[in-house]
Every structure is written in C-alpha cells, then in structure tokens.
Structure 1
Amino acid sequence: MVHVKGGTFVPLYGSDSTPVKVQSFLLDVYPVTNSEYLAFVSKYPKWRKSAVKKIFADENYLRGWASDLSLGANATKINNSPVVNVSWFAAKAYCDCQGKRLAKVEEWEFAALASETKANAANDAKFYQRSIEWYSQPNPTYLPPVQKSFRNYYGVYGMIGLVWEWTQNFNSAMVVGESRADVTMDRQLFCGSGSNGAKDVKNYVAFMRYAFRSSLKSNYTVANLGFRCAKSI
C-alpha cells in the first residue's frame, strides 16, 4: 500500500463548489488480481463461483474463470490482470479479510486526480485527454497485467486506463461537503439539465464515473469492473 496525503478538492461534478476534505489514507498500489482473488476463494469457499449466493453476486460472477479454482487455459495471460466480474459484496469481503476496506468515493476520486507528476492534475489538458481516450475504448480480450498500467504521483497503478473500480459508498450519487449529507444529494445530476451547475462541465470523465456507479447494484458483476483496497490511518 502507499500513503495518500489528505487534503481538500472541489469535485468536478455536482451543483455546488463546496470543497471536500479527505483525510490521509492508505491505498493498494495495484487493483486486486486474478491470482490474488483465487487465493482468497481457495481460503473462503463461500465466495467460489459455484457456492456464492445470488443475493451477493449475479450469474456473471467470475464469468471468465474455468471453474471454482481454475482460471482456465488462459491463466498465464490473466494471472496478474485485475480480477473483474466481482460484486461489491465480494470485493468488500476480500478487503475485510485483508484487514482493509474499499476506498470511499471521495478517496478514490482524490487519488485519481493525480498524474505522473502532479497530485492534482485537474487542469492538465493532456491528462484529461488520456482519460477520455481510455473511456472511449472497447474492452481488450485480455486485460493487461496491473504492473503495466499507468503509475501516478502517489505510486498507485491503474487508477485510469485499466478497469473501473468499486468504492465503499458507490451508491452515493456524489461526494458531499461537510455541510451536506448524502440524503440531500443533487438528484438532477444525471438528468439532461443536471450538469448546468457543475463546477467543471468539460470534465466528462467524472460524470461518466458517477453515472456508471449510480447504475450499479451491490450484487452486479461487470466485465470491466474490479477493485482495490484501502485502509484508514
């Protein structure tokens, strides 16, 4: 894990410009890989393909795996690739068993603002363009190894350009300031007129992430959705 120094940032979405405070936290360097998740299900049988309850994961859970304890003929190609087709429940259980937790939305977004050289690259046109280009690309047949992904200022790999990632409070439509509560979220955020009051309407990638998260349910599994763990300090 790496240390992400806390601070404040203004979310690039939503209807106000209230700064969000993020406490320092620890974040996994890489998303969880297939081989790491295989070790997890080997130790905890209730999270295997054939055993997981449908209330905790839909029918596509670990869809690319050959069986409960086998990645199949393509194992050498995907051992070090991020595990996908895992539900929020499964991701949370994995992190819990490591003595960790899923990152909060505000923590994930705060860390994802970092480019290779800047802790906050929100105004870096090149960094923004790279994000846009990745979100516009179809999924590759095999996801690349996590070690070959983009490394940011904090030493975290793959925040952009690898997979979407589960967050602890993914079903909160937006990050809120200390003066607001999740129950008062801006419910117009993803409506046609919802972006009119956004802090930075050009940041389409932030809207994409929040729109995607808001479409999820805890037992959903998606072919390009993985996770990594965090830890409070």
Structure 2
Amino acid sequence: MDPNQQACPCCASPRNSGQPDNGIIKAADEGPYADPPARRPRPELQSDMIYIPGGEFWMGTDTSEGFPADGEGPPRRVRVDSFSISAHAVTNAQFRAFVEETGYVTEAERFGWSYVFHLFVSDASRAQVSNVPAGTPWWYVMNGAYWAKPEGLDSNIGDRLNHPVVHVSWNDAEAYCRWAGQRLPTEAEWEYAARGGLERKTYPWGDLLKPDGKHRCNIWQGKFPVKNNESDGYAGTAPVDAYEPNGYGLYNMSGNVWEWCADWFTSDYHAVSSTVNPRFDKPTGNRSMRGGSYLCHRSYCNRYRVAARSKNTPDSSTGNLGFRIAQSL
C-alpha cells in the first residue's frame, strides 16, 4: 500500500463503524442536559491560557514524511491574528467541573459505548465488548466507556485528574467551550501555536524526534498494536504538562492525545482556504484533528508532526482524543 494513501491506524474508526452486526446503531439518547450552555468568561481558566502574538508562518508541508492524501500541503504563507490558547489539553478535573455544574451528558454516555484500545481492556470487561470495527481490530467498542470510565465500567480517573480528558466528541468539546466562554482553535491557529515560533520544523521543538536522546512526547514505543515498550514513560495518556513545553510554553502539541479543531476537514484545505485567518466552514461530515496521540509511531502513522492532519465524525469519541481551548483577542 502506498504510505501516502493509508488510513491513520491509531485513529479510531468513526462512530458509525461501531454498529453491531445486525446493522442497527443505537442512537444517542437525549440526556438530561442537551443544549450547550451560553458562553461566559471563566476567570479560573485564564491562568492556563497563553498569549500567542499574531503573525505569518509557513503552514503545511511537502516533505517526504508527509501524507499528501491528508491535505498536508502545499505549504504556504498564512497570517493569523493574535489569540490565546490553553497551555495544555483540557484535563479530567476541568471537564469534571463542567459536568458537575451543568449536568452535561457526553455523546459516549448517550450512545452507551466508546472506542477503547484493546490492551487497556481488563479481562473482566472483555465481555462488555460489543463489536470490533473492520480494519482497526485493535479498537474495541466498549459498552459503558466514557470520560469518567475511560477503559470501561471497572475503570476510573482517580489517579488521572491531571491527564487529558478523552472520549469526548467534537460536539462535547464545543459544549465545554461554550461553558468556558472560549472556543476550539482553528487548524491554522493550532499549527501556528504548535510550532512555537519555529519555521518549517517537523516537531514543536525542531527536526529531531529525540534531541540529545531525550523523549519530548508521548507516542508508541515498540511493535504496534501488540507491544508498547513505554520507553517514553507512558502506555496510555500522560499528564497534560508532561515533557518540556515548546517555545510558546505549550505542552504536548505532539502525541498524548489527538485534539479537535474548529474546522471541517477537507483534503483540499490548503487550496481552498484563505491565507488570512483560514477556517474551513463548509460541512464535509468530518471535523479536523491535530497532534497525534500515544498510539502513533513513525513506522505506520507519523502524524505527530506539527503539519499532520486527521479527521473523524463530530459525534465520534475514542480513548486517545481530547481537545484544548482558544480565545479570540
């Protein structure tokens, strides 16, 4: 298979790939909280926000490491206005505060299941696996998995309050943003911030994956999908402030969890979007994701580079997908 045409195996299948064998998908029940709250400032979140001065940068890539089918290029000069972005992904503790105040019920809860990586499922919970999507058998359709029980009903986040919240759909992330008085970053803002002031570099810190032999991100170490050596310190999610930040003070812009962006996804992004504050707003059925995750590896899914892109349906949720927030100035 042409590596430029391969799917991203560390990204879960979309929500509709988890349908049971009879072809019937359980619809998301309307929870006790359905409509997102009105946007209003949350001063307690402001300390996590980093000011990013506006400017121009080279967005995208045409290097041999890229995936042209993902629409990573052609690279071009793009200008973005000043904005703020959270120093790290939204944590379990922050999302819990949102849920406790609003009563919000995530889509994973309303559907009754979410995607969990097979190595994280306990022997007792395997009986709760309702399906395995074709093409990505390492993802289990786990009944009862959601943000507070990320590996299923026998799991919890008690020792992961400072880890990124996962099993949140794009719609869930947007609801949180409304509560927080913020928004999701655009792809252009995300990449500009991820580069940390560097130009045309592969990662937020430069071109070498491990400068001086030091791990700078949480990605897969070993043979996917059966053995993770965990030489970077983590098998699953890492704390949101693990590893050194980039030049803007942002953590984990490569690896750890994929992060939702505001844009609809198109592989023609660089050809059809503006060069000034670009944002692709035409519905395509998929929202954009950036940053890669703890399941990415150079051998098959080299998408933890700052120019890399991926997608999923806005109702999908997985154990390696979260988000961070941004604010216009």
Cα deviation, residue 129, structure 1: 3.3
- Number of the residue aligned with 1:60: 114
Letter in 2 for 1:150: E
Q: Relative to 1, partners in 2 of residues 1:122 and 1:232: Cα closer, same or farther, differing over 3 Å? A: same
Picking from 203, 206, 209, the partner of 1:130 is: 209
Return the letter of the residue paired with 1:109. Answer: E
Identify the residue that residue 12 of structure 1 maps to in structure 2: 60
Match of 2:100 among 42, 55, 79: 42
CA distance in 1, matches of 2:185, 2:177: 10
Question: 1:6 touches 1:22 (CA, 8 Å); kept in 2?
Answer: yes
**Alpha-carbon distance in structure 2 between the residues aligned to 1:109 and 1:3:** 15
Q: Percent identity?
A: 28
2:321 corresponds to which letter in structure 1?
L
Q: How does 1:66-77 map to 2 (within 5 A)?
A: 66=149, 74-77=156-159
- 1-structure distance, mates of 2:236, 2:173: 21
From 176, 181, 184, the counterpart of 1:102? 184
**Structure 1 pair 155/209, CA: closer, same or farther in 2 (3 Å)?**
same
Give the 3 Å change call, closer, same or farther, for CA 15–154 of structure 1 in structure 2.
Answer: closer
> Which residue pairs with 1:143 in the alignment?
237
When the two chains are superposed, the root-mean-square deviation of aligned CA atoms in Å is 3.5
Looking at structure 2, the residues matched to 31 and 204 of structure 1 have their Cα atoms a distance apart, in angstroms, of: 18
Q: Any conservation in 2 of the 1:45–1:51 contact (CA below 8 Å)?
A: no
Q: Distance in 2 between matches of 1:181 and 1:152?
A: 24
The yes-or-no answer on 1:78 pairing with 2:160 is: yes
Structure 2 unaligned spans of 5+: 1-48, 62-71, 116-144, 211-215, 222-227, 283-301
Aligned positions, number: 201
CA contact (8 A) 2:54 2:83 kept: yes
AA at the equivalent of 2:195:
L
User: 1:224 matched to which residue of 2?
Assistant: 320
- Assess if the C-alpha contact under 8 Å between 1:2 and 1:27 holds in 2: yes
Query: Which structure 1 segments of 5+ residues have no match?
Result: 184-202
1:92 maps to amino acid: E
The answer to which structure has the higher helix fraction is 1
Compare relative contact order (CA 8 Å, sep 6+) and give the higher one, 1 or 2.
Answer: 1
* Structure whose CA Rg is larger: 2
